[in-house]
Amino acid sequence: MAGEKSKIVAALLAFFLGMLGIHKFYLGKTTAGIIMLICGTIGWLLLAIPPMIIGIIAFIEFIIYLVTPDDEFQRKYVEGDKSWF
């Protein structure tokens, strides 16, 4: 079983780097990895820039919301006018 791969690692790679096919390379599926890498890169460069920016903003806000104390969150983001970050 020297060639075993972790399904947890594969799942995490698919979740975080799936658009680039990194999980396919990890699993030894080089051709599929190259196809996903090329398609993902071209798609990202040509079509997905605005959605990616929105996704990055959403992720930053996700982190901020989690680490902001409850009372401050209510004051800033629920009761206040704070729309971004």
**CA-CA distance, 54 to 65, in Å (whole number)?**
16
Q: Is the pLDDT of residue 12 over 70?
A: yes
Q: What confidence score (pLDDT) does residue 34 get?
A: 92
Q: Check residue 47 and give its pLDDT.
A: 78
Tens of pLDDT along 41-75? 887 777 767 777 777 888 898 999 899 888 888 88
* Local structure of residue 68 (DSSP, 8 states): S
Give the closest residue to 21 by CA, choosing from 50, 3, 1, 44: 44
